[in-house]
Chain A
Amino acid sequence: MSQIIIQGLLLSGLYALIAVGFTLIFSIGRVLNLAYGAYLMIGGYVYYHFTQVLGLPQIAGILMAAIFGCVIGILKYRLIVKTLKGDHVAVEISTLILAVVIQAGIVLVFNDSSKILHPIVPGVWRIGGATVTFNILTAALASWAILIGLYLFVRNTHIGRAMQAVSMDVKGAAISGVDPDRINLITWGISGALGAVAGVFFASYTQLSPSMWVAPLIIAVAVVIVGGIGSIIGSLIVAHIIGFMEIISTTLIAAELRGVFTMLLIIGVLVMRPRGLFGREEL
């Protein structure tokens, strides 16, 4: 039992971190960024290149991943979202194409064999029946720190409040002197950086491979759909629902059905409660 709780908490922390950047874009731009998984992939590969190939310290690797993610987020906003003038369907389709292009690019640069990252923090810790790696513990703690930081940022800073305003009503925000374009740009940058950092942790948990962008995208989608639009707290809760569901299904029910439950949850919630469990509340 204690083992399920510990493992569930850790995995859920990782999932929350994966989902938060996606939620951010969805609530502010109302756009599904299907290339979101590609941020994670790029983050992971950038980290791999700088730390394991070039031998830079790990913190530098994470920083480089965040910078790359941020730049790509900004470029994506400038070159795709703005060009298409925020047409949702067009943005969704082009981000899907972009994700496939990035996948091909990764194969081109790194070839398609999968790679394993060194643990960011090595070592294990045994409590009860559970074994916890310091790596996943770090990921979960970092995830919490980042989520709290983001929450405070959105609540308490000028830019954060402007983000809330844009998320609720773009025109209203514009009238009250907020530049929606600038806020969008910042949001895309933050989302990219968050995604890339989540990618480093996700990859250190699993592996680097050119198709690794699909799984986290589905996690992010599940969290956003089930949680409901634009709620950081809602995303956090749902990340835990999904994380625990996964641990419970693998430990107690049938490990091979791991993904099936998540899909059924998405479909069920969307059909029953299209606005998600936590509806639409402020950011």
Chain B
Amino acid sequence: MGIRWQHIALWIAFIVVMLALPEFVSKGTLRTIIFANFLAIFAISWDVLSGRTGYISFGHPFLIGIGAYTSAILSYRFGFPVAASIPLAVVATMIGGTLFFLPALRIRGSYFALVTLAFMELMYQLVQVIRPDLTGGTRGMSGIETITRGAVNNYYLSFSLMVIIALAMWLVMKTRLGTALSAIGMNEESVRGSGLDTTKLKLAAFMIAAFIAGLGGAFYVHYLGSIAPRALFDINFLFTIIVAALIGGASTIIGPMIGAFFLTFLLEYLRPVLPGAERYFIYGGIALILYMYQPKGIYEVAKQGWGRLRAVRAGAGP
């Protein structure tokens, strides 16, 4: 699949619009977009691993958490500058990613999903039990150094990070590596049959996913300024990441981005209308119905709609 000029034009248009956005929208909206940007990063990371290769990860918060906790502990407890703690956090996450990778050598499908879920639960319990003087135990840590302050600065920071990751992934997926990964998702046996080393390919996917998760997690914790086990190693967090990737459209780059923005804005726009617990109920309900309606996601719905529109136009034309 080659790179077409329309795609590049769309990317440029998207970036220009997003960079100009702070001029037009409120700070509150920017704050919402910041969360959407981070969610998009996590969803892209999940998609590289699971959306492409079909190794469904239920433990993505495990990777993100390693990145976030490593950077938080290094900077908060040991006074590392952020410029050093973030790269170290990414390295730590990639080591965690290898740990994740081991079971994938032997199992796939539902079993793989479960073992990753077990990883996440294990991490949740260990963080509280082992060295609470470092991790802050159940309460976590607060007052972690932030990279920058204010809605606008953080917006530019998170958007740049997100768009760089998205663009890089888009380019990577255009290479033969991307094609091969998608092929694994469809039929691993036949990929192996065609002489490719699937283990190496899978390792590549896991390392890329861990890299993004670690990077995203580290920047995330330095945006939030606080960290708690309940906020990270949590089924609700996992739910949001997976649903963002799937509802937007797995195996695409734009899909997880759409999904992340959709979910974050949906939850935030429900706030003034339904302040209480109803909000989560409606939010989850909409996600469920949308996913049931089209498991391939919003991207697919839009594509089909566009195709139909074109067909109608073509039919109506002279």
Q: List residues of A whose CB falls within 8 A of some B CB.
A: 30-32, 80, 83-84, 87-90, 92-94, 96-101, 103-105, 107-108, 111-112, 214, 218, 221-222, 225, 256-257, 259-260, 263-264, 266-267, 270-271, 274
Contacts and interface: CB of A to CB of B under 8 A. Distances in A.
A260 B118 CA distance: 10
Interface residues of B, number: 39
Given A104-B277, A107-B280, A271 B118 contact: no
Interface in B278-301: 278, 280-281, 283-285, 287-288, 291-292, 295
A266 B115 CA distance: 7
The 8 A-B residue pairs whose C-beta atoms are closest, nearest first, are A101-B284, A263-B122, A104-B281, A104-B280, A266-B118, A274-B107, A107-B277, A270-B115
Contacts of B103: 267, 270-271
A267 B115 contact: yes
Q: Majority SS of interface residues in chain B?
A: helix
Contacts of A271: 102-103, 106, 115
Contacts, number: 108
B295 A90 contact: yes
A267 B122 CA distance: 9
B114 A100 contact: no
Q: For B110, B117, B119, B291, which residue has the most chain A Cβ atoms within 10 angstroms?
A: B110
Interface of B: 54, 56, 102-103, 106-107, 109-111, 113-115, 117-119, 121-122, 125-126, 129, 235-236, 239, 242-243, 246, 276-278, 280-281, 283-285, 287-288, 291-292, 295
B109 A259 contact: no
Contacts of B235: 96, 99-100, 214
Contacts of B119: 263, 267
B291 A94 contact: yes
Contact of A97 (B109, B122, B291): B291
14 contacts: A32-B113, A84-B295, A90-B295, A97-B284, A100-B284, A101-B284, A104-B280, A104-B283, A107-B277, A108-B277, A221-B114, A260-B122, A270-B103, A270-B118
Contacts of B242: 93, 96
